[in-house]
Copies of this chain bind each other. A is one copy, B any other.
Amino acid sequence: MEAFSDGVFAIAITLLVLQIGVPGGSENDLLRALVAEWPSYMAYLVSFATIGAVWFGHTVITEYPHHANSTFIRLNLLLLLVVSFLPFPTRLLAEYTREAEAERVAATVYGINLLLALILVSVVWRYAIRAQLVRPDLADEDVKMLTKRLTPTLGVYVVMIIVGLFLPILGVLGYLVLALSILIPFSALWHRPNHA
């Protein structure tokens, strides 16, 4: 189960690079063409950070083969469905960022995919707490902290999707900040036992 999940995360994160198109043209064009492709790099970075954050949250939940139950496995497959779909809106964003009108559509689709991924991580997380599938070495305050963090984060994603309807780039930069802000508290959970 974990090998399969880890595999899907690793593949989805590595496939992102295939979404960046290689420009065609002559010298002056190449440098300029590469710079002009900044939306591709931005989309790559945001998607990488988000999948990284989701994967990270996922590692905190330990699945014991004997404990894993049907609901947990179905929720997890749903999460993988949403995560492995992300390369598609990533390419959409990379292709359409400079086309004023289409940019809004691309950023919204992208944001909805990210939001769904985070809703599902949050659902899997809450289910794991209730079903006692969380890593036993986590302190209670860590579990509480994580739960507290995740709830407002979902709200901020909704705000960012709305912001993205007016200022798509700002919305996308917001997604980057959100992913990084998830990566930090999650990793703090790994830090603490080191000091204990």
Using a CB–CB cutoff of 8 Å, the interface residues on chain A facing chain B are 1-4, 6-18, 20, 22, 24-31, 34, 44-45, 48, 52, 55-56, 59, 66-71, 73-74, 77, 80-81, 84-88, 91-92, 95-96, 99-102, 104-106, 109, 137, 183-184, 187-188, 190-191, 193-194
Whether A109 contacts B34 in the complex (CB less than 8 A), given A14-B11, A18-B18, A87-B17, comes out as yes
Whether A88 contacts B22 in the complex (CB less than 8 A), given A30-B96, A34-B109, A70-B191, comes out as yes
Whether A11 contacts B11 in the complex (CB less than 8 A), given A59-B1, A190-B73, comes out as yes
Q: Which 3 A-B pairs have the closest CB atoms?
A: A27-B101, A7-B10, A70-B187
Q: In the complex, which residues of chain B have a beta carbon less than 8 angstroms from the beta carbon of A26?
A: 99, 101-102
Whether A13 contacts B17 in the complex (CB less than 8 A), given A3-B3, A190-B73, comes out as no
Closest to A104 in B: B27
Q: How far is the CB of A28 from chain B (nearest CB, A)?
A: 8
Q: In the complex, which residues of chain B have a beta carbon less than 8 angstroms from the beta carbon of A13?
A: 8, 80, 84
Q: In the complex, which residues of chain B have a beta carbon less than 8 angstroms from the beta carbon of A44?
A: 85
Cα of A14 to Cα of B87 in the assembled complex, Å: 10
Please pick, from B4, B16, B28, B68, the residue contacting A10 in the complex, using a CB distance under 8 A. Answer: B4
- Which of A15, A71, A95, A190: most chain B Cβ within 10 A? A190
Please pick, from B14, B22, B85, the residue contacting A15 in the complex, using a CB distance under 8 A. Answer: B14
Q: In the complex, which residues of chain B have a beta carbon less than 8 angstroms from the beta carbon of A52?
A: 77
Cα of A15 to Cα of B10 in the assembled complex, Å: 12
A17 and B88 contact, CB distance less than 8 A: yes
Q: How far is the CB of A52 from chain B (nearest CB, A)?
A: 5
Q: In the complex, which residues of chain B have a beta carbon less than 8 angstroms from the beta carbon of A14?
A: 7-8, 11-12, 15, 84
